Amino acid sequence: MSYSYFLGCVIPGRLPFLEISARKTFEEIGMKVGDQAKCSCCPDPTGAAQLDHETFLALGARNLCLFEESNSHILSLCSGCTESLKTVKHILDNDDEKKKEINSKLKIIGKNYKGNIKIKHFAEVLYENIEKIKEKVKKPLKDLKVAGHPGCHYLRPSEIINWDDPLNPKTLDELIEAIGADPIEYDMKNDCCGNPVEKTDKEISLSMLESKLKSMKEAGADCIACVCPACYQQFDFNQREINKNKNTDYNFPVFYITELIALALEIDTEELGLNFHRIKVNDVLQKIN
């Protein structure tokens, strides 16, 4: 079975340029990844999913059904969507009663959840192809100090995500290393970026961001690498906010790991949409050239 993208809401709705490097990278390593029509919100595990459990399961299951009908596994570009979909699958696959209940709702729209497709985060698939990526590196990003930010829903809860070590993750750092860059160690690596709590209290959200930025600065980072559009947003949009309030001068360029991979593999580097990043990436581009 092949894969199709699950794009989520944030990337198509706000950060479409993040799709470019992802599509180009998977093409370059020889994977044909399709697109799936008619997807709805996953639903957002940090938002609407928390309002009603039944609706959460129904919306999630409907999305899974679409891929089942297309006979395609899910390759998700967002950590939040990955968590939602994996959670729905975990619950329905292990609780026959719940599965029956939800299927009775899905029946109304002519769908039926079977549970025969896999859900993978795009970084999972990249990691599985890490040797191929290493082979294709044309310009290793030497001396670039990258602060890897694995984020929360990429790793936890480990019972459901079932991927990297939830408290001591290695896969993102290994991907950074594979393209010749230096994945730095910093104390707050495994901490949350704070994005979800912005819905309730922006100040707390910014406090969490600040403690990450401080730790990255102390460790001498040149830029940040992330695997989730919510984290991307938090880092790219809100460094300015913190500088305004706290008189700091944080200015880390923020990259999706696929953007860094595309730079190292020299895949259409002019067309990656890097000019749409809010924090200008010119310093990094200069350093690696």
Partner 1 sequence: MSENLKRVMVIGGGIAGIQASLDLAERGIVVELIEKNACIGGRMAQLDKTFPTNDCSICILAPKLAECSRHPNITLHTLSEIKNLSGQPGNFNVKIFKKARYVKEDECINCGVCIEKCPMRVDDEFDMKLRKRRAIYIDYVQGVPSIMTIDRENCLFFTKDACRICEKVCEREAIDFDQKDEEFELNVGSIIVAIGYDIFEPTSLVSLGYGRYLNVVTALEFERLTCASGPLGGHLKRPSDKNEPKKLAFINCVGSRDIKNNPYCSSCCCMYTTKEAMIAYEHDNEIETSIFYIDLRAAGKGFREYIQRGENDYAITYIKGKVAKILEDDQKNPLILYEDINTSQVKQLKYDLVVLATTMVPKKDAGELAKILGIKIDDYNFFKANSYHPQKSSKEGIFLCGACREPMDIPTSVIDASGAAAKAAEIVMRG
Partner 2 sequence: MQMVDFEFRNDLIKENFSLNYCYQCGTCSSSCPVAFITNGEFNPRKIIEQSLLGLKDLLIKDQNPNVWLCCTCHMCVEECPQNVFLTEIFERIKNKIVLLGEPYPKTFKMQAKSIVENGLAIPLSQPIIRRRNQLGLPNIESVNINELTKLLEATNFEKKVNLLEESK
Least Å distance, CB 36 to partner 2, is: 8
- Cβ burial, residue 132 (10 Å; 0-12/13-18/19+): middle
Say how far apart CA 85 and CA 7 lie, in whole Å: 12
Least Å distance, CB 171 to partner 1, is: 15
* Amino acid type, 275: N
Instruction: Give the x/- contact pattern for partner 2 in 25-64, rule: CB under 8 A.
Output: ----------xxxxxxx-xxxxxxxxxxxxx--xx--x--
Instruction: Give the x/- contact pattern for partner 1 in 139-168, rule: CB under 8 A.
Output: ----------------------------xx
Provide the edge-to-edge strand list for the sheet that holds 145-149.
182-183, 145-149, 223-226, 254-256
Q: Quick check: helix, strand or coil at residue 100?
A: helix
Q: In the set 187, 201, 268, 271, which binds partner 1 (CB under 8 A)? A: 187
What are the E-state strand segments in 66-163? 72-76, 119-121, 145-149
Residue 131 near which of partner 2, partner 1, none (CB within 5-8 Å, type-dependent): none
CB-nearer residue toward partner 2: 30 or 109? 109
**Angle, vertex CA 158, rays to CA 27 and CA 129, nearest 5:** 20
CB-nearer residue toward partner 1: 168 or 200? 168
Q: Would you mind telling me the total number of residues written for the chain in this entry?
A: 289
Say how far apart CA 26 and CA 251 lie, in whole Å: 29
Q: Give yes or no for a contact between 106 and 58, defined as CB atoms under 8 angstroms apart.
A: yes
Instruction: Give the residues lining the site for partner 1 (CB under 8 A).
Output: 167-168, 187, 218
Instruction: Give the residues lining the site for partner 2 (CB under 8 A).
Output: 7, 9-10, 12-14, 16-17, 19-20, 23, 35-41, 43-55, 58-59, 62, 105-106, 108-109, 152-153, 156-158, 166-167, 190-192, 194, 196-197, 199-201, 204-205, 207-208, 211, 271, 273
